[in-house]
Structure formats: structure tokens, C-alpha cells
Amino acid sequence: MRNFQEVVYMVPRKIYPPQDAFVQQANYTTEREVFDDLQFWEEQASRLDWFAPWDQVLEGEFPFVKWFVNGKINASYNCLDRHLMSWRKNKAALIFEGEPGDQKVMTYKDLHRETSKFANVLKELGVEKGDIVTIYLPVMTEAVVAMLACARIGAIHSLVFGGFAPHALAERIKDSQSKILLTADGYWRRGEVIRTKDKVDEALEECPSVETVVVVSRVANAIRMKRNRDHWYHELMNYADNHCEAEVMDSEDTLFIKYTSGATGKPKGVVHTTGGYLTGASSTHYSVLDIKEEDVYWCAGDIEWITGHSYTVYGPLSNGATVILYEGAPDFPQKDRIWEIIEKYGVSIFYTSPTAVRMFMKWGNKWFADHDISTLRLLGSVGETMNPEAWTWFYEEVGKGRCPIVDTWWQTETGSIMISPLPGMTSLKPGSVATPLPGIAAEVVDDEGRPVPRGRNGYLVIKKPWPSMIRNIYKDTQKFLDTYWSVFDGAFYTGDGAYVDEDGYYWISGRVDDVINVSGYRLGSAELESAVLMHPLASEAAAIGMNDKNKRSAVCIFVTLTEGASPSEALEQEIVERIVEEIGSFAKPERVYFTKNLPKTRGGKIMRRLLRDVAEGRELGDTSTLLDVTVIDELMIRGGK
Ligand code: WT7
């Protein structure tokens, strides 16, 4: 098979069956046999409050489908209003912990009031149903308020990751043509102020479409406020009315767009709808994350990540959960901050990433030795493959051998969890994401789209529509078709490689396309390459994701120089700088290789697979399609740490 690296896991593997204490209280316990997918999804949608019922569950076929046709619903109503009819109105919805140690609790009633007020502010500012609102906010309650306020009036939110450099922010604003941007003066990171508003000012020089900027004051640093364009959030909120009826939205109306990196240069705006998306996020948060009324739930990622959309905001709030928001760094003021927060609030469900787990493991057990983290009952992971060593540590040391780990596979495009253990039913295998959830038709296929035998690597595809699936790429249906539907007939192409073992368990081997996944941040090779090519001495560039033995992925750049230029450490630094400036420091390459030529196919396509072999120090794979074999011998290796 092309593109695939052999996956070697430790054998024999230990299997962890569900434990009685967990099973007895789990939301999903007995094997729920799903005879009919549509009936299953209909039941899941019925967990939500609808203003008007659908008259058909599913209409159309891949790639253009509609779920819960003609059903009327509002996401903000489902996350707020419906909880006000019970005692839940005074339950904590959000518990915010600032990095300096400040704390703010918002009940469902509070969140409902603030959301309604901000919805009125948006209306006052001229935002209408269908308009796009860009949200560039750090982790804070106002980010949740802003999302739910958009949803309330039918505006479409587009959250942009705070780690992006101004240019990357500008690209996303320009693509969406949004007229309004919400941001903050800054936020705290390792005791220092990150000056968010300065970045915005720089980005907006490129974005004439933005007429209004709303600024939340978090750190009260001196910032520039542009007259007639910039407004303080708290000033606008002062005068806002606190009543705002939730707009009646069609099930298929767009709830948000979320930009993500693809194989080609420009970031893609993944479009998600209201009814289907909310059904997926809410039902999986109930089944996989096993949410209960009394849980204290923490998904420790950024809100602007799809994980934050589905499992900090829409999933948990639609289920009436208490959600932790933490602003800052996990090692500030020292490396016990995460455990301190878990102890302080009695966190019971902790959903994080393999990168974070590996980091906690490296820091060591001593950091939680003095903290009572016994409230934990369920652990979760998302973003990349969890190596068995990290898994075992997380399970034994953090979970004390009591807490199941749900390793959840999904993507920005899938909207909600697709393949994962159900913690009350599934035996766990460290490193595996277990089996597709009810209603999800996953399969592993070969180059021709035929199912591969068990144990063999192939492409992970989804063969049947699911409610929270991507509906389009914003303003680019052609790209939508090319990216996901042109590889195999009648199946959604995930871009991941996987294999299924003898028990039907899925093992994800990583991206097989030109997307690089570094610590859960998704980067397109083309984005990185065009940043490198901004250096006047760079003539050609190839970016790849390189995996180490823990399956941790890092960015690696191969670059050829213009005539007469020669490699140097200074040049390497400058190239790294270009990437930091254009994309952000999270995209920093781990290695820069200078080479005289890049390996290409006769068709002129760069063979990134061979570069991956070089970077990972492997024997080269199949070179038969290589135009000039001598290129490989010439790869002169520089840099590297
Ligand atoms: C890519 C999607 C869904 C939120 C996280 C990132 C990788 C995700 C797992 C997992 C192995 C995983 C895949 C996927 N991925 N979860 N449990 N095991 N790999 O969303 O930025 O859209 O990235 O993350 O490669 O395609 P995203």
C-alpha cells in the first residue's frame, strides 16, 4: 500500500474490562444493538428540545444530506433556556479559573442573562441572522457567551485560535468576509500578558471588511482603541436589555464555521449545521463522556478548537453540566496546576490530549502526590494516538486504576466523536480507539476502496451519513467535493490511516494526506511551505510531519536554496522565524534540512513519503515513481536537535 508505515505495537497487550463500580452507574451499559441507524439518530435528536418536529430524519445521499428535515431548533435555547425550568437554573454552568488564581462562577441563569444581553448587543451593532461573527478570544466566560449569543440570533460564529499570528487571523477573516470581530485586550500566560489586541490591530490592517471590534477587558493593559471601530464589551453590555427570544432556526441552518488546515494552501471553513451538529455533540457527550447531573467536567483545551466547540460548549451545556474553564498554562505557577484545579473544584471527568498526558508523565507523579484527585472517575483523550506507555501511566497513576479512559477519534469535519470506547461497556486496549459508536459506519479500505482484511493498514472512511457531519466548505463547494468525496465513491475520506485488529478494534496510524498534526494542532503542508518560501533565499520547500517512537509528531522542513546561497545556522533560524511570523510559534519546525533537490514524481509532485522516511531514519520505501533517484543521495542533512 502506498503511504502507509507499518504500525508496531507492544505485544502482548493488556486488556482492561469495564469495572463493576463504573458499569453500575454508566449512562450506556448494556450492548445497545442498533438495528436501524435512522431510528437510533431519531432517538438521539429527541434528547433535545425542538420548536417544531422534523418530517423526515434524513434526506439525500453523500455528500449532500439533510438531517431532521424541516425541524426547528435553537442551540442556545437548548444550552440555556431549557435548564431554567428546573432547579438547574442556579446550578454552576461555568467555573472559570484565571491563571493568576481569580475565579468566576456563572450559573445557568447568569449565562442565560449574559447571553441574552450580548445577543441584543450584536443586534444593536447590526448583526443579522446568517452574518458571520469572528471570535478571537482566549479561554474566558465571554467566549462562551459570545458563541451562544450568536447561536441565539442565528448569526454564524467563526472562532480563530489565539496562537495564530496576525496574518493567519487575517486570512480567516478575509475568507469569511466577517464585518465584526470580538477580542480581548489580552490574557495571562505564564505570568505574562499576551497582547491579543495588538495582534488584532495588525491583522485588521489587511481586513477592510471588519467595521466593528468588540473588546473584552481581561488584563487592563494599555491598548489602542480605534475610534468608531472599537468598543468595550462591558460598556455595550451596560445598556443592553436582558431579554432576547431565541430565534427559530431550521435544523439545517449553519450554526458555525470552523477553519481548519487542509492539504492545499488556504484554510478551509468547515460548515456545521444546527440540528445535526447539536444532536451529535450532545448525544456523544452523554454516551462517551458519561455526563451526570453531579459531575464537574473539564475538557482542558482551547474553546476555539473543535473539541472546545463540541465538548466544552455545546455538548456539556446542552446536557446541563458544570464546566471548568482554565485560562492559563498547566505549569504556572508550578507544575501541579492541573491537579490543583482538579482538587479545588472536585473535577470528576477530565478530557485532555496525549501530548498533555506525556508532558504530565514527564513532570512526574510528585506533582499530584499532595493533591486529592480522587474525585476523578473518567478520563478522556483526543487529538492523536495515545502511546500505550502514556495510556498506562494515565490509567494507573492519575486514574488509580479506577477510571476508564475514553480515547476518542474524530475530526473537525465529523463534528463529534466517531470511534471510541463506551466507558460502561467497552474493554479498553491501550493505544486503540476501540470501535465505531452506534450509528457510525466506519470502515478501512485499500486504494480501490475495497475493505482490507483485519490487521492490514488502509484508509479510514465513513460509509454512511451521520448528523454532525460537515455540510460544505464555506463558499467553496468544489473544494468540499475534491477534498472529501473524490478519493472514494460514496464514502467520506477522513485522511487518516488505520487498521482493525482481530477483535474489531480500530488503531489509528495517523494522517495519510498532506495534513500535519502536531500536538493536536492541525497544519497544512502547503501553509508551512508558503511561509518558508517567503524567505528570499528559499527556492523550493516541502513540509512533513515526522513521528518519533512515541508517535509524537513534529514539523520537519526540507528546503532547497536559490543559486549561490549556502546553508547556515543563521539561515535555518531565519526560515524558522518566517513560519513563526506567518503562522505562529506553535508551528515551529523541529528540524530544517537543506537539500539540493526535492524528490519528485514524474508528474512533478513532491514525494513527501520519502522525505518522511529520511526524517524518521528509515529505509526508503518504494522509489519507483521517483523522477531522479540521485536526489535522495544528495539530501544533505543539516540542523536537527
Ligand atoms: C485529526 C483531526 C477532533 C478534535 C481533535 C483534532 C487526529 C484525533 C485522534 C485519536 C488518533 C486522532 C486524526 C484526525 N486524531 N483524535 N483519538 N487518535 N488520532 O481535530 O484538528 O480536525 O484533527 O486528529 O489524525 O484526522 P482536527
Q: Per-residue pLDDT tens for 146-156?
A: 999 999 999 99
pLDDT at 627: 57
- Which CATH number does the domain housing residue 583 bear? 3.30.300.30
| DSSP per position, 226-280 | -TTTEEEHHHHHHT--S--PPP-EETTSEEEEEEE--SSSS-EEEEEESHHHHHH
58 part of a folded domain: no
User: Three cell numbers at 20?
Assistant: 463493576
Whether 583 is in a domain gets the answer yes
- CA-based nearest residue to 58, from 88, 78, 73, 38: 38
Domain assignment of residue 551, given as a range: 515-636
Residue 237 has pLDDT above 70, yes or no: yes
pLDDT band at residue 622 under the 50/70/90 scheme:
low
Decide: pTM greater than 0.80: yes
Is the pLDDT reported for residue 431 higher than 80? Answer: yes
Least confident interval from 22-26, 76-80, 214-218, 553-557: 553-557
Question: Would you say residue 454 lies in a domain?
Answer: no
* Within-domain flag for 473: no
Q: How confident is the model at residue 629 (pLDDT cuts 50, 70, 90)?
A: low
72-73 and 249-250 as β-strands: parallel, antiparallel, unpaired?
antiparallel
Residue at 98 is within a domain:
no
Alpha helices of 296-409 — where are they, by DSSP H? Answer: 306-308, 315-318, 337-345, 354-363, 366-369, 388-393
Q: Which residue among 303, 381, 385, 409 is best mutated to probe the pocket of ligand 1, counting the most ligand atoms within 8 A of its Cβ?
A: 409
In a domain, 448, yes or no: no
CA atoms of 174 and 420, how far apart (whole Å): 36
What was the pLDDT predicted at 608? 81
Give me ligand 1 centre to Cα 19, in Å.
27
Total structural domains in the chain? Answer: 1
Coil, strand or helix: which one is 106?
strand
Ligand 1 nearest atom to the CA of residue 420, by list position = 17
In this structure, the residue with its CA closest to atom 20 of ligand 1 is 411
Answer yes or no: is 572 within a domain.
yes
* 579 is a domain residue: yes
- Cα–ligand 1 centroid distance for 17 (angstroms): 25
Please state the atom number of ligand 1 nearest to the C-alpha of residue 508.
11
Q: State whether the beta carbon of 382 lies less than 6 angstroms from ligand 1.
A: yes
Å from CA of 81 to ligand 1 middle? 32
